[in-house]
Amino acid sequence: MKEFVLIFRLTDTSDAKPSPEQMQERMNWLGGIASQNKLADKGKALSVGNAKTVKPGNVVTDGPYTEIKEFISGFMIVKTETIEEAVELAKANPIFKQGGNIEVREVINPLGNS
């Protein structure tokens, strides 16, 4: 099996603090993936306000890039045979009800073995 990281993005910082109902919906989605033995790493939520960006020349700015209209709120890693299967898992995530989106990327092993 390959590993794919699901990168969660939101457009509104208020959505970074889910309601109890939203949290339960997220946990149900995560539990469904775990029950299929496709959860490699449940990941973590990422801070909205406590962030820095380091650029060439040792330039450090507050937060993520200001020119983007969304921010990365968290990530997780799933195990599937194909990226299409990982996308299908992502499609059921409740983040879409909040106007968010999910980027799916294959995790590359630097040694080249699975």
Task: Collect contacts of 41-49 with beta carbons under 8 A, ≥24 apart.
Answer: 41/76, 41/77, 42/76, 43/6, 43/74, 43/75, 43/76, 43/77, 44/74, 44/75, 45/16, 45/73, 45/74, 46/72, 46/73, 46/74, 46/75, 48/13, 48/16, 48/73, 49/13
- Averaged pLDDT score across all residues of the chain: 86
pLDDT value at 88 more than 90: yes
DSSP string of 55-78, one letter each residue: EGGGEEEESS-TT-S-EEEEEEEE
The string of pLDDT tens digits covering residues 17-71 is 778 898 899 999 999 999 999 999 999 888 777 788 788 998 888 766 555 667 8
Domain ranges of the chain: 2-106
CATH ID of 2-106, from 3.40.190.10, 3.20.20.70, 3.30.70.360, 3.30.70.1060 = 3.30.70.1060
